[in-house]
Amino acid sequence: MSLHFLPAMIISITILILLLAIALKRAHNLAYVITGLGLIGAFFSQCILLYLPNSSDGLFAFSPVSSLLSLLMLSILIFLWLQLYAWLAKQKGHKEEFYLLLLLVSLGALGMIVSEHFASFFLTLELMSLSFVGLIAYSQDKPVSQEAGIKYLVLSAVASAFILMGIAILYLQTGSLAFEQVTNEVSSSSSIPLLSTTGIIFILIGLFFKLSMVPCHLWVADIFQGAPLPSTALLSTISKLASFVVLWKMFNLGGWQHDHIILEIIGLVAVASMLIGNLLALLQNNILRILAFSSISHFGYLLILLLLFNQDADLLENAEFPLEALIFYLSAYLITLTGTFTVLMQLEGKTKLEQLTGLFWTRPLHAASLSVLMLSLAGIPLTIGFMGKFYLVTATISNQVLWPLPFLVIASVIGLFFYLRIIMVMLSSINQVERSSASTTGERASLWFIIAVVMGLGTFPAFFAEIIKHTVR
pLDDT at 316: 67
pLDDT at 187: 62
Which residues, 6+ apart, have CB-to-CB distance to 5 below 8 Å?
A: 60
The residue among 248, 382, 273 whose CA lies nearest residue 324 is 248
Q: What would the pLDDT profile of 310-361 be if each residue is shown by its tens digit?
A: 666 666 667 788 889 999 999 999 999 999 999 998 887 788 888 888 888 8
Which residues, 6+ apart, have CB-to-CB distance to 256 below 8 Å?
A: 183, 186, 187, 192, 200, 250, 262
Q: For helices 240-252 and 179-188, what crossing angle results, to 10°? A: 40
As beta bridge partners, residue 60 has 115
* DSSP structural state of residue 352: B
DSSP 105-164: HHHHHHHHHHB-BHHHHHHHHHHHHHHHHHHHT--TT-HHHHHHHHHHHHHHHHHHHHHH
**Residue 422 confidence (pLDDT) above 70:** yes
Which of 3-7, 118-122, 143-147, 308-312 is modeled with the greatest confidence?
Answer: 118-122
CA distance 129 to 182: 25
Average pLDDT, rounded, for the chain: 87
CA distance 418 to 145: 26
Where is 345: in which H helix or E strand? helix 321-346
Q: How far is CA 18 from CA 6, 12, 43, 93, 354, in A?
A: 18, 10, 18, 18, 40
**Residue 190 confidence (pLDDT) above 70:** no
The residue among 300, 136, 147 whose CA lies nearest residue 232 is 136
**Residue 438 confidence (pLDDT) above 70:** no
**Residue 72 confidence (pLDDT) above 80:** yes
**Residue 433 confidence (pLDDT) above 60:** no
pTM given for the model: 0.93
pLDDT at 225: 87
pLDDT at 189: 60
3-class DSSP assignment, residue 400: coil
* DSSP structural state of residue 215: T
What's the 3-state SS for 365-379?
HHHHHHHHHHHHHHC
Average pLDDT over residues 194-219: 87
The residue among 87, 82, 1, 4 whose CA lies nearest residue 40 is 82
**Residue 452 confidence (pLDDT) above 90:** yes
Domain boundaries, the chain: 263-473
pLDDT at 436: 61
pLDDT at 17: 94
Which of 33-47, 129-143, 212-226 is modeled with the greatest confidence?
Answer: 33-47
